[in-house]
Structure 1
Amino acid sequence: MKRSKSGDNGKKRHKNWSVLEPGWQGIFVTCPRGKESNCRAELLDLLREYVDNDDEEEDEGEEESGDIEAVLSKEVASLKQKRKESNVEGHLVGCECVVFARLKKADPVEVVKRICRDAKHKGMKQTRYVQRMTPVSLLVTANLDNIEKFTPIVESAMPGEGLKFAIRPTIRNNTKIPRDELISNTAKLVGHRHKVDLKGYDKLVLVECFKSVMGLSVVDEFDELNKFNLTQIYEAAAKAQNDAQNDAE
């Protein structure tokens, strides 16, 4: 007799991952295999420092006086409320080595660049599981016809003419969209106003196709910030620090 797969006490085992929705914006993040839950928790803590702290004005100093116990109690309640109202959601996505953070208000591109800049300039390692971050300014249902929905994003990030650009597609868990067609259809959004340059680009168009959705963003500083890979940024910062110490000796 075969054992039931329903789990303990005959209860059905529910999936613990999310289906990403068209209309969302956020960040795809890679992590070590088997550490997706750890990465999700770490990512939420990291993003809340940048997103929630920016979105809310802290009323510091208001509770300088008064009963300490009451003040602490109020602070704990406030923290719980902020977490409940957070502008960040972390999602497991049913794929090894990948998680997704939904940003309800903040610009994913700017958030990713700020995190990477801080990591590079401060050189202090803050994360263990978060690796490469890929911002997406909009998610749409994954089919080639929907690429035109990214037009406002491209036009806003690449106004005028004369810029050099490249396209970097990533396709995961999707066999219906050919890579070449994804690139060519994305290039049509840019048109002839700008010139393709795979190495010396001013702007990089990131296209992330994942399962039933795809997202796009237009970024700069990609190579300068180690392709938005925090692990590589920390390693480079540590190496630079060691080299500086060796030169000083």
Structure 2
Amino acid sequence: MGKRKKHYISAHVNKRKKSDGVYGKLEIGMQGVLITHDRGKENLCRNDAFKILNYFADKWYGTVKGEKTLSEKPGATVVSIDEDVGGSDEEDIDAALSKEVDCIKDTAHVRKRFYAVKSGCNNVVFIKTFDLKPSNFVRRVIQTIAAETTDDHYDADIPAARGVLRIHPVDYSCRATMSEINSMAKRALPQLLGDVEQRNIGKESFLKEYNVMFRGRNNNEFGMHIVTDAIVEVVKDVAENWRYNCRSTDIYVIVEIIINLVRASVVENYARYKKFNVRELFVERAMKKCGNAKDGDGRKEQQQEKQEQYETVKEEKKQNEQHQEQEQEKQPENQHEQQYEKEEEQKAQKLEEK
């Protein structure tokens, strides 16, 4: 038989799956980080997100180490090949070789702290986390990025992130049904709101008020008002001290539905930190670093003053126009009166002449 044709070979090669660094799909119980990005920039977003998350995780929690090797495991014994052993030497040598291979595999295996998971919708990347609480981790990341140059926790070596937009933690998840949402809220909200309350003990400006932010992606079964009402009713039962305020911009209960799964978490200082938009935080950080933040504020004040001057001039001009219109309306009446007076004077002069 001759050689296979080229199109058969190419078709066979194209069937092979290419690894893009994404493993599995979203499932119930996954904890992690939900990140939004620009259209068509998924790979850039994923790479930048891994850079930032790994940088902070390695800095705060240490680098990820591999699992213990066979020699480090309790009760394990390693047989050296060079030792003189009696009996069946071949079996002992084979056992020693197999154990050495297992040790090499164990040392080569390193567990990662973050994994990318297919989100199932466009412009969204989900990164699964291990051995850390997403809400606390994301809060520290955002605070560090937005820190002033004079703060103690300011970090000048943070890697830039051009492809990352908003970053939201995911602490709890369930199926997209009302019964599941209610049960998840009863489990999650007492703990999450309690953590926020503990972090703000002693602050006079702290108010036990929250808002609900809902976002549905590839799901039309639930609306904002339905989910918001359900969360408010649950909070009334499990956390009576907290009050719902639709105008609050500080503490948010974030509920996001992706296809048929619900993701929930609680964040604080949401408006202060640009709604957790990492790109905007990096822009503000660069302005502060270059010393242009004050200049920018001065420009804003100048623009406001110019706008106020323009509005005052516009009002004065409008008032002048109205005054002129009123005078023009009165002018015909005055002219008629003047003509009538002139005619009367002329008549009186004619009578005198006669």
Which of the two has greater helix per residue? 2
The TM-score with structure 1 as length reference comes to: 0.76
Provide the residue aligned with 2:281 in structure 1. Answer: 233
Q: 1:86 aligns to what SS in structure 2?
A: coil
Task: Identify which of 125, 135, 138 aligns with 1:112.
Answer: 138
Secondary structure of residue in 2 paired with 1:208: strand
Bigger-Rg structure (1/2)? 2
Q: Does 1:189 align with 2:234?
A: yes
Equivalent residues of 2:120, 2:259 under 8 A apart:
no
Aligned pairs for 1:127-142 within 5 A? 127-142=161-176
1:136 and 1:208 in contact (8 A); partners too: no
Greater alpha carbon shift after TM alignment, 198-207 vs 12-21: 12-21
- For the 8 Å contact 2:116–2:126, the answer to whether it is kept is yes
| 1:222 match | 270
Deviations 1:16-62 (A, max 9, x none): 66420100111110111111122112211211122344444699xxx
Out of 37, 44, 48, which is 1:42 matched to?
48
The alpha-carbon distance between structure 1 residues 48 and 243, as it changes in their structure 2 partners (threshold 3 A), is closer
Partner of 1:167: 212
Relative distance call for 1:246 and 1:158 in structure 2 (3 A) is closer
Q: 1:94/1:200 Cα in 2 relative to 1: closer, same or farther (>3 Å)? A: closer
Aligned length: 221
Contact 2:121 2:258 in 1 (8 A): no
| Matched-pair contact (CA < 8 Å) for 2:119–2:258 | no
Query: How far is 1:125 from its partner?
Result: 6.3
Deviations 1:165-215 (A, max 9, x none): 111111111112232211111222211432111233653101111112111
In structure 1, the partner of 2:247 is: 199
Q: Which amino acid aligns with 1:237?
A: R
Return the offset for 1:93.
2.3
The correspondence for 1:151, drawn from 186, 198, 201, is 186
Compared CA separation, residues 58 and 88, structure 1 to 2 (3 A): closer
1:44-95 C-alpha deviation (Å, 9 max, x unpaired): 1211122344444699xxxxxxxxxxxxxxxxx9xx958x411211224242
State how 1:12-23 maps to structure 2 within 5 Å. Answer: 12=15, 18-23=24-29
Q: Which runs of 5+ in 2 are unaligned?
A: 1-9, 66-103, 148-153, 198-206, 299-354
Equivalent residues of 1:163, 1:202 under 8 A apart: no
Structure 1: stretches of 5+ with no match in the other structure: 1-7, 60-76
CA distance in 2, matches of 1:189, 1:195: 12
Supply the AA of the counterpart residue of 2:293: D
Report Cα offsets for 1:80-111 as digits up to 9, x if no partner. Answer: 958x4112112242422110011122111122
For the Cα contact (< 8 Å) 2:58–2:64, is it kept in 1? no
Note if contact 2:57-2:63 (Cα within 8 Å) is conserved in structure 1.
no
C-alpha separation between the residues in 2 aligned to 1:235 and 1:14? 38
Richer in strand (by share): 1
The farther-off stretch of 33-42 and 239-248 is 239-248
Q: What secondary structure, in the 3-state scheme, does the structure 1 residue paired with 2:292 have?
A: helix
Cα separation, partners in 2 of 1:58 and 1:40, compared to 1, 3 Å: closer
Tell me how far apart the structure 1 counterparts of residues 192 and 126 of structure 2 sit (CA, whole Å).
23
Identity %: 22
RMSD value over aligned CA atoms? 3.1
Higher RCO (C-alpha under 8 Å, 6+ residues apart)? 1
User: Retained in 2: the 8 A contact 1:40–1:92?
Assistant: no
Residue aligning to 1:95: 121
> Quick one: distance in 1 between partners of 2:146 and 2:108?
32
Q: 1:178 and 1:186 mapped to 2: Cα distance?
A: 13
The answer on whether the counterparts of 1:40 and 1:91 sit within 8 Å (CA) in structure 2 is no
Question: What CA distance in whole angstroms lies between the structure 2 residues aligned with 1:58 and 1:179?
Answer: 40
Match of 1:32 in 2: 38
